[in-house]
Amino acid sequence: MSATESPSVTACYALAVLNATTEGESGPSASWALPTDRLEYGEMRALWDSVLDARDAGPHTGLLVGDRIRPEGLHILGHLVLTCASLADAARAAERYHPLVSQAGTVTLHRGNGVGRIRYRPTVAPAAMHPQQVEAVVGIMVRAARWIAGDDWAPLAVSFAHPRAGSAEPYARVLGCPVTFDTAENAITVADEDLDRRRPLYDPALNALHRAYADRLLDQLSAAETAAGRVRRWLEHAALEDAGPEGPAKELNLSVRTLRRALHAEGTSWRALLDAARHGRAGRLLETTDLPLDRIAPLVGLSGATALVRAFTRWEGMPPGAYRVRHRPPPPLPPPDHDVAGGG
């Protein structure tokens, strides 16, 4: 995301964060008086600053906020989750519709070895997001899973990329599972059987109604995006080995020259966006596959393993082999022999 492009957050979520704290005295800004309004991420960060500066705030405030969020705090995504057929269905809905709640992060589901890992990655600079904001998001995802699976449900494990603050007990009590810190990612690990278990009461017609409304809102949000944002979305699904500016220009009904001018006005360029897309896809392939470097290179539009090593070292400050070792998810934990504290 360029310096001139600011992600937005739905006011539903901002209001829910305020309502989940004991000192939500600072009411909504005039710029987002309605729950359906959106606010710039900087304003959301300022709201969190005030929440964490409150007299009764502690190291677990973000975690507790996440656990207190109700479906309406996630706007249409919350209501959609309530009508999903399974946890896997809800995770896929979160992948697609999370931008309706916040464009400051992404949710992705990765499956393998009998488990699923639901990951949350901030899209803003690390310094721009409090660790407690991340803990709130992960707490919300666990709480939303319990809307489907029941209040006594717990994931196999939760991991955070930041260090732990405060005691371990609240994490075990709220999340109901082993929790690790200083890891490669923010993630919830869920057993496949939990992900795929169908709900006995499932209304596909109501689910389809919510999805249609969410799709309409997503289209509206996309239409309001900058040219750079829309190019990024196009690149997420493009074949990078032959990607050129002609593709997104056609989708935006612009000439290539006009697109280049628009990107320049937003402080970026086609080359910079393509480079970022290659970086992101290479990282995901290294994290989630065993493909050798000479197979990954053409998938990200590079000429071979040598070019990939050179580019990846520029991106991450380390060669791709070292990155793969560092970011490979840990093996799934064995099922516990007894109830975990706080797991019901």
- Give per-residue pLDDT as tens, 253-278: 889 999 999 898 888 899 999 999 99
Give me 270's structure tokens: 């086609």
pLDDT band of 147, cuts 50, 70, 90? very high
SS3 state of residue 38: strand
CA angle (125 as vertex; 120, 131 as ends), nearest 5: 55
Q: What percentage of the chain has pLDDT greater than the value 90?
A: 64
List beta partners, residue 10.
38
For residues 76 and 244, give the distance between their C-alpha atoms in angstroms, rounded to a whole number: 35
> Which pLDDT value is given to residue 332?
57
Q: Measuring CA to CA, which residue among 272, 271, 237, 261 is closest to residue 251?
A: 237
Query: Looking at the predicted structure, is the pLDDT value of residue 329 above 90?
Result: no
Q: C-alpha distances in angstroms, 29 versus 39, 40, 44, 75, 100? A: 9, 11, 11, 18, 19
pLDDT tens-digit profile of 151-203?
Answer: 999 999 999 999 999 999 999 999 999 999 999 899 999 999 999 999 888 88
For residues 56 and 216, give the distance between their C-alpha atoms in angstroms, rounded to a whole number: 40
Mean pLDDT of 24-32: 50
Which residues, other chains included, contact 313 with Cβ-Cβ below 8 Å and sequence gap of 6+?
Answer: 319
Query: Looking at the predicted structure, is the pLDDT value of residue 145 above 60?
Result: yes
